[in-house]
Each structure stands twice: as C-alpha cells, then as structure tokens.
Chain A
Amino acid sequence: DVKVTQSSRYLVKRTGEKVFLECVQDMDHENMFWYRQDPGLGLRLIYFSYDVKMKEKGDIPEGYSVSREKKERFSLILESASTNQTSMYLCASSSRQGGRREQYFGPGTRLTVT
C-alpha cells in the first residue's frame, strides 16, 4: 500500500516562529503536493513539485516556501508563522507512470498559530 506520512498530526506554534512541516512517501512518486484545508474553502493548493529540486506555485503560495531535496520528501516551510496560517495541512503524492494517476494523501497536520 502507498503510504504518505506527515511529521505531526497536531502542532501549536507562536506567531513569528519558523515552522517546518515534513511529508514522506514510500512509493517512489515523482509528484508531491501541499494543500491547506479550511472550513467552507475546500482544499487549496499551496505548492507542488514534479521532481527533486523542482517546485511550482499553486494557488496560495504567499507566506510559504517548500523544499524537495530527495524524491521521497517534500517539506513545507512557514518562514514567519501568522495566525491566518492556522489550518489543516495535507500532503499528497502521485505517480507520472501508469494509467491511474490518482493522488495519495497523508493524514494531515492540524497547525494552530497563537
């Protein structure tokens, strides 16, 4: 089974702190994604990556950066956390090979910024 893991299920940080959210997948997928999910807004794409060291902005990249130094790992960085970044963060991965191409999601990290 494909497994996407995220470093924490719950995280509480203070305003101004630098926050790292880690995501690891074990299926050798080329593509990885970071979304945030807020009530009434659905899932919104922050960044995605289609290869090591490659990244593309999604719909709401402001206030975030990403890092993909290894194929299996995709990190989301909040350089200076703010209260409006309190949210559920979801990581996903998918393959560019084969026919299905669906995304596999991690369990999510619920981040609270106080």
Chain B
Amino acid sequence: DAKTTQPPSMDCAEGRAANLPCNHSTISGNEYVYWYRQIHSQGPQYIIHGLKNNETNEMASLIITEDRKSSTLILPHATLRDTAVYYCIVRVGGTGGFKTIFGAGTRLFVKA
C-alpha cells in the first residue's frame, strides 16, 4: 500500500470549512484513497473514499487531483465535534482492508 503524508496538526474556526491535505505521490492505478477520523477515546470511523473522481457524502467532500498524487478532505462547516485525528489511507480496492496502513494523521482542532 502507498504511503501518505499529512500535516501533523491544523486549526479551524467553528463554522468555517476545514481543508485537510494528503500527499500520496506513489499511489498506483488501482489504489483508492480512504479517509477515517478518530475522536478521542473512540475507534476510527470511516468518512469517505474515492478512486479518481471527487466524492461527496453527508459528512464531507473528497477532492482528488487529476494526477491522483494528492487529495483534500473538506468538512464544509466544521463544528467543535469535528475535533479529531484524521487519517488518509491509500489501498487497493476490493481487499477489504488487508494491511491497511494508518500513519500518524492530522490532528484537527476546531475552535469556537
């Protein structure tokens, strides 16, 4: 699975959009980009995933660059409850998570 690089921490004002970047320059053609988040003292929670098209769901939007070497997770209107560690992962689709590698992630602080 490709390695990802994320900033260690970010701040965001409540009500503003939070844009979390991820670099995955060694991604291969059959690898998907997945985002999870982990709120303190809980297990990680799935947010969204994509292959090459931009994706949106009730939680967030995922923007993947045309060369697929980086992506951005967007929380459109961040709330205090979005304070968490956000993990960007790339892995082959269809394997159900074999050897999914979680890095250190980005710690997002949403401030009032």
Contact = CB atoms under 8 A, between A and B. Distances in A.
Interface of B is mostly: loop
Interface in B4-60: 34, 36, 41-46, 49
A100 B34 CA distance: 10
A4 to B, nearest CB: 7
B43 A92 contact: yes
Contact of B49 (A58, A90, A95, A100): A100
Interface of B: 34, 36, 41-46, 49, 87, 93-105
19 contacts: A4-B43, A31-B96, A35-B102, A42-B103, A42-B104, A42-B105, A43-B87, A43-B102, A45-B101, A56-B98, A92-B43, A92-B44, A94-B97, A96-B95, A101-B96, A103-B100, A105-B45, A106-B43, A108-B42
Interface of A: 4, 29-31, 33, 35, 40-45, 48, 50, 56, 58-59, 90, 92, 94-96, 100-108
